A and B are shown apart, each in its own frame.
Chain A
Amino acid sequence: MSIMSKRFREGVSKRLTTMLGTYGGSRHAKWLLLAPALLVLVGLLYAPTAFILQESVRVGSHLGLTHYASVVVSGYYRSVALRTLGIGLLVTLLTFALGFPLAYAAVRGGRLLGGAIVVATLAPLSVDLVIRTYGWYILLGQGGPVPKLLVALRVGTVESPPQLLFNTAGIVVGLTHVLLPFMVFPIMTVLHTIPREYEEAARNLGANRLGVFAHVLLPLALPGIAAGMLLVFTNSIAAYVTPAILGGSTQTLATEITSIFTTTNDWGLGSALAVLLVVVAVCIIVGYQRAMEAAGGAIGGTGGER
């Protein structure tokens, strides 16, 4: 299977290359097409990132790990980093728990419901983050609709209603809302490619709903789920606006880094925290690609070759 498609792809690209090679000018013309993008990347992303890296290990006029040491030693920064990762993990799980049923309903629930879900998921994405976050600020705030509802449901009392704003809970709710589309759409894309007959076959062979989900949908939708989780996790640990508005004095790495740069101007410490954030993100991405390659091998059914 994979060999065939590879050969097919090579054939197609060979044909294309001949075609374009004939009319498309020199061998190096293709790099000209990439030049603007690469220029932007190197000049505005990679070089500046290298500069941050250098700043994080520069102590006065020589190199040293002082800044990293002060991050590791400080209980405060450790707790901020752990809180940030915890929020990322929780938001990833919540968006999956809410996003998968929604994606499934959008794909299998008929045209009307499907269209409604796509619009309801897509529309908030286009609205200014600040406005959306403000909506939660009202909903979750003291005397707001959500605490009132919870008190009515006997969660907390009128005297001490549940606190949902200016703490981790507020950040988690806000980020779950902001990042839900990034979970829903990749899963929808994959679910569209899974024929309904697979589910019917599983039911026919005696699987219940849970069995169909666990043994058919979950494994087949894994690439979409993993892509969604990757997007949600990396975005949630780096988010600024939502924690800044809904977190109050509860800091995450992003708000902490921002306040270091805007108030104390301690470049070394700020850079060290920034590098930590990038390292976590890169590890997640590399891990994702490894996992996808492994899963591709298993799903692709090339047998014991890998």
Chain B
Amino acid sequence: MSRLAMTFRQLRQQGRKALIPYVTAGYPGVDITPALMHVLVEAGADVIELGVPFSDPSADGPTIQAASEYALRQGIGLPQVLDQVQRFRESDTTTPVVLMGYANPIERYDMLRQPGAFAADAAAAGVDGVLVVDYPPEVSGRLGAQLRRHDIELIFLLAPTSTERRIRQVAECAGGYVYCVAVNGITGTQALDLVQVRDTLARIRRHVHTPVGVGFGVRDASTARAVAKVADAVVIGSWLIERLAEKPAAEALAAASNLIREVRHQLDLDAPESGPDHLSKPEPSEPQDPSHV
């Protein structure tokens, strides 16, 4: 069973919801990412979405754009992101890592190497899922097949505007989890509308049987909790990135830890067995032994 499937199964058995932080690789420091990922896991993250910087992130709002531009200035591209995942895997072999980004860096990676090189190298680095923002189902067949060969899940977005036909199309090819965009818009700029989220989730769940995560617009812990009541996972991106902005490494790691702990706490208030064992994770010395296993 894949790390993603395992993680969602365990959470389901415990009646808990997945907390999925998003961070841009190479932000807020060129070498901070593996350490930041460990801190997120220690604070209660179940899956990590790692953003691959791109020069033209047209689905992202100003916060993630700025993080992306910063990382690009530090020379972070897809090969460096894979290195960072590999370094993270040296001391965490259980937490799923999902790369989130745009098509062009992936296509370029294969063009300069060989077809399927990205899928093979991502697998070797320990990547579990890939979400390509500008690869809708119609054009993702080839990458999907290459990733499947290496047991990497191709993850898709669905939106409030997605028609039933498109939801069915995604249901047929979605792996891991489906990422439900909570608002019509870009990352990080609007507060989400819970009524709309519920409606979208209901429409999605008629066809999609993988777990469904909700992101874009989760900007505080109580919203995260409210979303988690109706979804299987909550994705936190821009809100987290804003907390890291322009901070030196130690402060950024502390800020990330605090935010994720706060959200984890809120999410677990609704877990049926929310005893103290499930409210926090063990000390940083044992990153490979998540308490909720």
Q: Do A and B come from one complex?
A: no
